[in-house]
Every structure is written in structure tokens, then in C-alpha cells.
Amino acid sequence: MWQGLFQIALTLLPIGIITPILGKYLAVVFEADPSTRLRSKSVLTWLDSVFSHSERAIYRFSQIDRDQVMTGWQYARAIFASNIVMGIFVFILLITQAGLPFNSTGLIAPTWDTALHTTISFLTNTDQQHYSGETTFSYASQVLGLGFLLFTSAATGLAVGIAFIRGLTGRSLGNFYVDLTRGIIRVLLPLSIVIALLFLIGGVPETLDPPITATTLDGATQIIAVGPVAHFESIKQLGENGGGFFGANSAHPFENPNSFTNLIATIAMISIPAALIHTYGIFAGNTRQSWLIFGMVFGFFIISIGIAAMGEYGGNPLINAQLGSSQPNLEGKEVRFGWAQTALWAVATTGTMCGAVNGMLDSFMPAGGLVTLFNLFLQIIWGGQGTGTAYLFVYLILAVFLTGLMVGRTPEFLGRKIEKPEIILASVVLLVHPIAVLIPSAITLAFPETLSGISNAGFHGISQVVYEYASASANNGSGLEGLADSAPAATGLWWNLSASMSMLFGRYVPILALLLLADGMSRKQPVPMTTGTLRTDTVLFTSVTAGVILVLGALSFFPILALGPIAEAFQIHNL
């Protein structure tokens, strides 16, 4: 046990080191303080020059006015318009892949509903996969289509997070196209190149060669799929995308061959959302508050890891009773990672909304199922790329409002009053998720034979269905599997279309509400701090915020948790 916990601690140690460094870099990239940007250029002058030339070329080619400052509505319209164009491009590419180059195995086009679901999935940074990559999509589809969306969807979320932080701290929201370009050119692309090189060193393949034909020891022929995996994996983890090049995702030895690549992948998926909290502190000029918030989220994260890890280490009591000894739960796990690293990854991938998996989540003990569902419901540990940080501060705004009501103080955040419009928009952000999860889950469970295709009856079957829609709405993409979501009949069609609606609803409605909220905050006149002002950079207020998160976030879904993993735990332990 102690060896596993030590592995977890060593994996988490770099996060605390990377957070302030990357957080400051993000603030420099998106210009929280022009003077800071000038000082930093003296260190990276040549790199900044390369970035600047590349950006200017893109602005000229796209005819982007980089000096235009957008309102909340304009920023949202730019997101919607660009996403529609990108979605149409990728959908056409997927359904015509049979006639495109780099299709050495002659793969035909997927069904229209699978192509639609896949396009929406990668467009919304969800990367939920109702297919197996190596047998469904060609190199052209994976690299030119899905790989393209891995960058743009992650950069879109990052842009929303930065625009929200700007508005919250009294600045204008900026320009979406400029933020999108900077996010790719200055953040995602250079970091993903470094990570891809590390993956190559670790043994991840990067080739356009066709699959390898091998002869097994018993004389059978085996086809081994390869491909341009290393660069795909780097942006998959860094951008919190999660969609695997192969069907087994990061449990596949070509995506994640050893402990070294597993470490790099884990750090990559946590690095940007953790750093954005520090970026907020720089924008707000209050790094004390950002460290308090970081500590709160990190505390949630550690508790979640502890629950999941202890559940896996304790093993299945039914199996242990037959063995006559206590053994960790190794079902559905890669032995090269073991129970500890698999539990850590499961919490990290559902906490960051990455969705990549290095083991079978469906095989986790109920404690692990509880934690992963809990993360999907909250969406702030650490949250999605950019948007998760915005959700976190929505909870802070609600905590300010509720605390102000209780103690009779003016609800203010960063010197700006919290009024009715902000509370309405914050409520919309938090209510969208339950609607996008619970309504389709109820419909699916009402027709178990014709729609759901559940492989497990009882409490675990409920968890399977709810997890699928929670993952879709939270733009996570992981799944408990065991569902007929890839079936060619009506069942597969239902899963593809209903999950697509949850993804769209869970992605774009909150983005619109967040941008309008940030725009409204940016237009408010700051009020001077008085003795009646509620300070938000204290341990007490941060603790209150944690309580608000648990009450408003977790209790909204508590009946589902009670009917799913909690009831399953009682059943397994015969309580």
C-alpha cells in the first residue's frame, strides 16, 4: 500500500512546481500586465519573435482585426460561427474518408450518426468515442480531422476561461480570434511538441506506415495497428481532450507504454487548469486568493484520490472471501500501472474533464465509481480546459452572494457588486448540467430494452447510463462502457444523437452565460473597500466556498449517487 501511495505523491509533486511557472506564462501570453510581458520578452526574445511573426501571418491571411475588442455577445458569436465551420469541415472529411489518402487499410466511411457524434464530440472538447479508432478512422481522419479539433476545441475553452477572468477583474473580454490564435501558437503547440518528444523517447510510435503483420507463436496471423500516435497523444492530454488514437485509449501500450509516459500524461492533463487559477491571481493582483483557491481544489483532489485508491486497494470483498486474503482490485487494470496509478489517473481524468483512461473505469469498486461521478457532477476539480476555471469562480460568486445575505454585508467580488443579472447567469451555468444529464438518463432508463442496451442490471446499470450523459454534458468523454452505444441498430442511433445533444447543451449554453456574466462584471464601476466589504481572500471564506460547492453541486445529484455507487457498495458488502 505504502509503495502505491508514494507513487501517487511523487506524481503530484511536480504540479505544485509547474503551477506558478505556467500560470505566470499564461498571464504573459494573454497580457494581464503589459509591463510583465515586456520584462519576460527579454528572456524569450527570439521565441516571442517567432510567435509574433506566425500570429501576424495568420491575422493577415484571415483578415482578423486584432485590435477589435469584443462584447460578450460578439465573443460568443465568434465562438459559435467558428465552431460551426470547423464542425462542417470535419464531418465532411469523416464521411468521405474512403476516397481520401492515408487510408492504407481501406476503411469505409462510418455511419452518418457515428460521424456526427464524433464530430460534435471532438468539437466540444468531449472526445466521447462510440467507435474503436484503429478500425474506424483512417490516418487522414484522425490527424487532419480529429487532430485539428484537438487543438481548436482546447484553445476555444482556454479562450473562454481567459475572457471570463478578464471580465471578472474589470478588463474588456478581448478578441476571441486573437485568444484562439495565441492559445494555439504560444501555449498548446509548443508544449505539445515537447510532450510528443518525451512520448517518443518513452516508446510511443509516430509513423504513417500501414499496420504491421506479425506471425504469432502458434502460427496465426496478427495485424498490429500503428500510426502517428505520439503527437496525437500529446495534445490529447495537454488539451484535456481525452480521445484515444486506439480503442483502448491510454491503456493501449502504444499510447501509454510505461510508467514514464504515464507520469508525463498525468502531469500534462492537470497542468493548464491548475495554472489558470494562478493566472487569475495575477490578473486580479491577489495571488493570496489564488493560492487559497488552489489549496481548496487540491484538497478536494487529494480526498478524491484517497477514496478511490483505498477502494481499489481494499479489493472486492466477495472475491477476497473466496481467496481467504485481501487483494487489491486488479480487474480492468494494466499491470504496468497497478491499482495506485490507475486510481490516480481515474480521479485526474474525471477531475480535469480530460476523459482519457489507462484502465477500465467500469471495473472500479463503488468507491471509485462514486468519486468519478462526483467529479463529473462538480466540474471544478480541476475542471475543463478554461471553462472549468470559470465554473469555479461561478461558485465563488454564489458564495459571496449567499454569505452576504447571511451576514448582512454587501455582496461584492473584486470590488464589483453582485446583483440579480449575475446571479441569474450563474444559476444558468449550474442548472444546465443537471438538465443535460438527468432528463436523457430518465428517458433511457425508462426503455431499457429498446434504447439503453445496458449490460449490467441493477445499481451498476444506473451508474452506467448516468455516467454516459454526465460525461457528455461535462465534456469529459470517458465512459463506464457496457452500453450498446456502437450498435448499428436503433440503440446505437439513440446513444449517438442523445449524447450529442447533451454535449452541445453542456458546452455552449454555459459558455454563453459565462461570457455574458463576465461582460456584465467588466462594465461595473468598482466600489471602494469598506469595513462592510466581505473579504474573499481569507481561509474562512474559502472554507465557506467549499461548503457551497458541496451543497449546490454535490447535493443536486445525491439521489443518483445513492441509487448508483452507494447502493452498489451496500450490496457488495452485504449491508
Looking at the DSSP assignment, which residues form a beta bridge with residue 333?
Answer: 359
- The residue type of 462 is I
What is the mean predicted confidence (pLDDT) over 187-211? 94
What whole-number distance in Å separates Cα of residue 537 and Cα of residue 535?
A: 6
Distance of CA 493 to the CA centre of its chain: 25
The number of residues making up the chain comes to 575
- The residue type of 528 is P
On the question of pLDDT at 449 being above 80, the answer is: no
- Give the residue among 261, 256, 263 at the shortest CA–CA distance from 11: 263
Model confidence over 420-434: pLDDT tens digits?
Answer: 899 999 999 999 999
Task: Flag the least confident range among 53-62, 183-192, 269-278, 550-559.
Answer: 550-559
What whole-number distance in Å separates Cα of residue 462 and Cα of residue 460?
A: 5
| pLDDT of res. 86 | 96
Model confidence over 478-498: pLDDT tens digits?
Answer: 988 777 777 666 667 888 999
What whole-number distance in Å separates Cα of residue 231 and Cα of residue 268?
A: 13
What whole-number distance in Å separates Cα of residue 166 and Cα of residue 521?
A: 9
Cell of 336: 504496468
What is the mean predicted confidence (pLDDT) over 100-129? 90
Task: Flag the least confident range among 111-125, 191-205, 337-351, 521-535.
Answer: 521-535
Cell of 520: 456584465
Distance of CA 303 to the CA centre of its chain: 19
- Give the residue among 207, 205, 265 at the shortest CA–CA distance from 236: 265
What is the mean predicted confidence (pLDDT) over 183-211? 94
On the question of pLDDT at 39 being above 60, the answer is: no
What is the mean predicted confidence (pLDDT) over 317-326? 81
Q: Which residue has the higher pLDDT, 101 or 173?
A: 173
On the question of pLDDT at 361 being above 60, the answer is: yes
What is the mean predicted confidence (pLDDT) over 568-572? 89
**Cis preceding linkage at 382, omega within 30:** yes
Residues ≥6 apart with Cβ < 8 Å to 451: 443, 444, 490, 491, 494
On the question of pLDDT at 138 being above 80, the answer is: yes
| pLDDT of res. 458 | 84
Q: Would you place residue 44 in the very low, low, confident or very high pLDDT band (cuts 50, 70, 90)? A: low
Mean predicted lDDT score pLDDT of the chain? 88
| pLDDT of res. 69 | 92
Task: Flag the least confident range among 20-24, 35-39, 360-364, 373-377.
Answer: 35-39
| pLDDT of res. 457 | 74
Question: Alpha carbon of 99 to those of 96, 172, 225, 424, 457: distances in Å?
Answer: 6, 46, 20, 50, 43
What is the mean predicted confidence (pLDDT) over 49-66? 87
| pLDDT of res. 32 | 55
- Give the residue among 311, 443, 297 at the shortest CA–CA distance from 375: 297
Model confidence over 521-555: pLDDT tens digits?
Answer: 998 888 777 666 778 888 988 999 999 998 887 77
The SS3 call for residue 84 is: helix
Task: Flag the least confident range among 364-368, 436-440, 480-484.
Answer: 480-484
On the question of pLDDT at 38 being above 70, the answer is: no
What whole-number distance in Å separates Cα of residue 501 and Cα of residue 255?
A: 29
| pLDDT of res. 141 | 93
The half-sphere exposure of 523 on its side-chain side, counting CA atoms within 13 A, is 12
On the question of pLDDT at 36 being above 70, the answer is: no
**Cis preceding linkage at 73, omega within 30:** no
Task: Flag the least confident range among 31-45, 247-261, 539-553.
Answer: 31-45
Model confidence over 65-105: pLDDT tens digits?
Answer: 888 999 999 999 999 999 999 999 999 999 999 888 888 77
518 and 166 Cβ atoms separated by less than 8 Å: yes
What is the mean predicted confidence (pLDDT) over 296-304? 94
| pLDDT of res. 456 | 77
Beta strand 412-413 pairing with 416-417: antiparallel
The SS3 call for residue 214 is: strand
